[in-house]
Amino acid sequence: MATKGFNAFEMAQKQFDTVADLLELDQPTRDLLRQPLREYHFSIPVRMDDNSVRVFRGFRCQHNDARGPCKGGIRFHPQETIDTVRALSMWMTWKCAVVDIPLGGGKGGVICDPHDLSPREQERLCRGWIRAIAQDIGHLRDVPAPDVMTSPQHMLWMLDEFETIHGAKYPGFITGKPVGMGGSLGRTEATGYSLIYTVREALKELGIKIETTVASVQGFGNVAQYAIELYTRLGGKVIAVACWDQADQASYTYRKKRGVSLEELRAITDRFGGIDKAKAEALEYERLPGDAWIEQDVDILLPCALENQVNAETVKKIAPRVKVMAEGANGPTTPEADVVIKSRGIFVIPDFLANAGGVTCSYFEQVQCNMNYFWTKEEVLTRLDDKMTSAFKAVSELARTRKLYMRDAAYVISVSRVANACKDRGWV
């Protein structure tokens, strides 16, 4: 979970300011890109199953749409804040730009815990979120998608409500839908696979065979599971997985030094990525504290859960052996931690590059919906690999030629593209 007092938006702005200085951006462009173009706050009254009414707080931020309609997920989380949504919308702008897809950055959220809501209550909440903002989103303006604790089913309820309000079919309005209802094959795997595509390329550059590497993973949701799947298929070994335990309201790290089994862990995991601790221990997994994942003696760290996990305190625990850190989560590493990581020469694949496979495949889904023709899974994943590999190489080459930290190089490419689009439109 995010550390108390941590502000993701302040961190996102700090990262932007560093690159704005590198690029010598003019003040109007800095002022424009430091804040969302638009943001929405709304109340969502929901009739509960016991006939009472609860009012939930919902948000949507549209950070920048100079390069195309905004794009970004919707989170259901009890600790959601507008500043987290602002930060994520900004990171989405850079994410779309770094992989060069014609979309801008958006993000949404609702303060709630889906664990405590029945399916009917979740459906009413989804429809209420759409009703609150239906006039300000759409396939030509702002395209939502799933995020933390939201699913293809949630997206389908939202699509149905949007189409009911507007009286037409808009399959490209929302992405992450179920396959067969406008969803794309390969979307489920996309973010985790994209993470490993970039790890594969980084290891090639470092002259390291993936078969000789060991990794530790934070998180066991969709991103982490598919990252582990592809990484182990390519020959790597994962020895530790950390995840949130809903019952204890705490996180734990599950370790098996001879290598974790994805199939074993999936079989004892709930739909929100929580591992059953009693069953894990019965399968000979050691249960360690939640932040133990970061101190493992491994070659690769894969933070794949929430923001602020590699910070000024936890970064001190990273083992000397670690050579690569690839960020499956958004904003897992603070600027203070970056200073330490940079000084140690750890090769970082920054979040908005490493996990851009999700939005890239969402873009593919939108393209398929708009032309009403769908690709095979192999076509989707091949196009995704091509896009991610190309983006990684561009960032890595810039980092080498200008002697930049990888995060800064990725930012230079993405911020330049967005700033130029704003200038070309005559906004600044």
CA 120 from centre of chain:
27
Query: Which candidate in 4, 71, 95, 107 is catalytic?
Result: 107
- Give the integer Cα–Cα distance in Å for 3 and 336: 14
Token pair belonging to 104: 């801008």
- The answer to whether 107 is a known catalytic residue is yes
- Give the integer Cα–Cα distance in Å for 339 and 130: 41
CA 275 from centre of chain:
21
- Please list the alpha-helical segments (H only) found in 372-405: 377-401
The closest alpha carbon to 362, from 378, 383, 393, 332, belongs to 383
- DSSP helix/strand/coil, 100: coil
Q: Burial, 321: exposed, middle or buried (Cβ in 10 Å; 0-12, 13-18, 19+)?
A: exposed
SS3 for 170-187 is: CHHHCCCCCECCCECCCH
Q: Terminus-to-terminus CA distance in the chain, angstroms? A: 38
Using an 8 Å Cβ cutoff, are 233 and 196 in contact?
A: no
Torsion, Cα of 74, 78, 84, 89 (10° steps): 0
The phi and psi torsions of 259 (rounded to 5 degrees) equal 115, 130
- DSSP helix/strand/coil, 239: strand
Using an 8 Å Cβ cutoff, are 181 and 110 in contact?
A: no
Residues in the chain: 428
Match 């862990």 to its residue by tokens: 265
Task: Give me the active site residues, please.
Answer: 107
